[in-house]
Structure 1
Amino acid sequence: MNYQQTYQSILAECNIALAKVREEDIKQCIELILQADKVFFIGVGRVKLEIEAFAKRLSHLGIYTVIVGQITEPAMTDRDILIVASGSGESLIPVAIAQKAKTIGGKIIHFGSNPHSSLAPITDLMVRIPVQTKLYLQDEVQSEQPMSSLFEQSLLLLGDTIAKMIVEKKEIQLKNLWKFHANLE
């Protein structure tokens, strides 16, 4: 494959994956985010990078976001939510953090592919991105990319899609968002 064919196949996979995400789940996710006092985020590896990008984008919308483990992380309360990003839903640290958040009374949103994961019993909402994971579930969107690349790409694009939907819902003027952008750079 050449460059053109390769990136077109990646974009096609992302399009197929995102088309399979349920719109009702996205709308419910947005409502939970907007109702929360604080939105916490947890993921590991490359997934962590994508979920951190989502957290940053929501902070640009004036939403109080926290990456679990940051030195300035505040206490979670029962008025907060935790967004867990894990394709398999079996990653040890995100599962343990979600269990702890549930004991505090926080709501849990899981962005993942496996609806039968260890997170399922404690999740208030699963936003399923049904793409190929290390579990190779029967109904997963297959990918020609290495490992969980399609999940990570879809997660990034889904985060930006949710942010855009929030902008539209709250009728935010895009030029007004710069006041939330980092300014010590």
Structure 2
Amino acid sequence: MSQISSSTRDIISELDTTFKSIKSDEVDQLIKEISKADQVFFVGVGRVLLSLKSIAKRLAHLGVKTYVVGQITEPAITEKDLLIIGSGSGETAFPLIIAQKAKKYNATVAHIGANPESSMSEYSDLFVRIPVQTKLQLPGEVESVQPMTSLFEQSLLLLGDAVALTIVRDRDVDMKALWQYHANLE
């Protein structure tokens, strides 16, 4: 077996183990909050932010009004909106500050992370645990051979795609009709 085949097999195996460990009721609650929100905001840093931007884009293709915190056209958040925070540790400073601020405006806050006992829990209305290996070495973490927090970022991206597909199926969306939301200035 080639090195790349071995690496690919390891990554897919880790993702499979991770997704078998994510609680469907937590994801169902997230989908419910996305569906009822007027606007959905996203915040994270680093590679987590890249995954969140992909999720925001895919949900926008489904007609959801999405914004990444800090983008130039970001509107005000209100009590009718949802803030989705991606933070494995739940201790990252910038997302914590934004969560605290969102609660001041009575927005619903959802945290997708690996650490259920984090500082973020003080501001979160719901938590979706991706139980992967962190620097904290918490019980029940899925171990990874990958560098740093790659498994979290990959799982976050795929979770976003699974959420989008679930919404498509729940709403019985015509897949061809989704192209109306795709960027056309390309």
TM-score, scaled relative to structure 1:
0.98
Counterpart residue number, 1:148:
149
Per-residue deviation at 1:121?
1.7
Per-residue deviation at 1:18?
1.1
Counterpart residue number, 1:107:
108
How many residue pairs are counted as aligned between the two chains? 185
Per-residue deviation at 1:4?
0.9
Counterpart residue number, 1:170:
171
Q: State how far apart, in whole Å, the 2-side matches of 1:135 and 1:91 are.
A: 13
Per-residue deviation at 1:136?
1.5
Counterpart residue number, 1:3:
4
Per-residue deviation at 1:138?
2.3
TM-score, scaled relative to structure 2:
0.98
Q: Deviations over 1:19-63 (max 9, x none)?
A: 111111111111100000000000100000001100000000000
> Residue 118 of structure 1 aligns to which amino acid in structure 2?
S
Moved more, 116-125 or 175-184: 116-125
**Same amino acid, percent of matched pairs:** 51
> Residue 163 of structure 1 aligns to which amino acid in structure 2?
A
Q: Deviations over 1:130-172 (max 9, x none)?
A: 0011212122111000000000000011000000000000110
The Cα RMSD (Å) is 0.8
Structure 1 runs of 4+ aligned residues shifted over 2 Å read: none
Per-residue deviation at 1:102?
0.6
